[in-house]
Structure 1
Amino acid sequence: MKYERGTEDLPVDTNMSTGSPSATATRVAREDCPHLADPEWEALQRLSTVIGEAAVATMLRTLSPTEQHGVALGFIMKEQREVAARATVSTPSTPRVESLKLHMNSYVGREGAPLLRWLVEVDTAITARRIVDPLSKVACAMSCLGGRAMS
């Protein structure tokens, strides 16, 4: 592309037609924008699927190289924000803590009764209910004794 300097010292395409856009007016070759890095060029190609090739071609013909860099970087940042927003939505913010209700058998105290098993059940219930106070732990264990007091 050949550019001349306009009134604001910005490049102006003198070959741009004023009639209907032709095929060359809607497409810009990579070689016409050597100042753009490959990621910027690829971003502008993705932008052309959003706003159209003619709009991107017009933008590349009318904007200065610095402004073209800004548009490409702005579009890249917009894409990154959208990806981050989708990632935030897809993962839960905080895990929910649900209460665990356990059934504990009362200790009967017969010969051969598995006392250790009963103690493990009581300990599991205390942990599940998140009882941290020692007196509350004893009260929970005593409530499961089946009405018997241990000496």
Structure 2
Amino acid sequence: MLDVEDDSFHVTREGYSHLSDSEWEVVGRMSVLMGEPAISGMLESLSRDQQHAAINKFLQGELAVERQKIALLQQQGSHQSMGGPTHMRRPETLKIDISRYKGTDEYSLLRWFVELDDAIRLRHIECDEMQVTFSLSNLTGREKTWALGLKLHDPNVFESLVILKSRLKETFEPPRAEFRARSALLRLKQGKRDVQAYAQHLRYLASSVTDNPVDDHTLINVFIYGLVDGPVKTYMFREDFHTLEREIAYAEQEDFSLTQSQANASNYRPTKRQETRGPKPTDLCYIEIENSRSLSHKRTARCHRC
């Protein structure tokens, strides 16, 4: 039913002989839109009746899009007959690749949701079942094993993308992740990092708190008090900032100026004194000390008649 080569799945017509020619053409269009691995996984997990229903649902969505295009053309034709301007705009589909969620990063699930939503929106996938199938095709490791196990037990366990996201958060997001991200944010210090890396880590922790986001005034105070004591921190206390990004920009500029001034100071070498020809001054005190040492050595010497 499926040919496996180099970890890629290829759907064959012989494995789905129960589908009509028109339905198989619809499957081809679905694979172009969502990718062949996602379609092969969907067809494998569905029964024959569910396959017919999914293909019919996709076909109904295509018909709805075509009706919208016809209505738009009719509207534009009426504007043209009335002498008004016409604007034809064809919806464009952008097939972007998203990273597969592995669950390795503590806060990566929320960022993976952002990638997933962008890919679904740009691919114009409107059917709930296809959104879920596309999402499952971009899981890997234990996350994909978990999702496929739930689908084998109950094929309708993920009725929509919202349900899939909530189940993923409940299962694979660390416990009290937002509380720990907020705690790490409020006690954040610059340490040995430069200002740019410190600011980026602050943004990373702030974006991990989504249910009750931290306001800009709190982030500004956290950023200033976390800076290393020095000229940059002193300068930041003298200014009044209303946004975090403006404060970070000023801090990076001040840190760059300080680094450049220190580099120029370390490269400074004083000019060598020119050596003058002629006699050099001699320290007479040093000569007297040396003479006294030689006389004392002669007095203490003894002759052993060797």
Q: TM-score normalised to the size of structure 1?
A: 0.46
Higher-helix-fraction structure: 2
User: Which has the bigger relative contact order, CA under 8 A and spacing at least 6?
Assistant: 1
Q: TM-score normalised to the size of structure 2?
A: 0.24
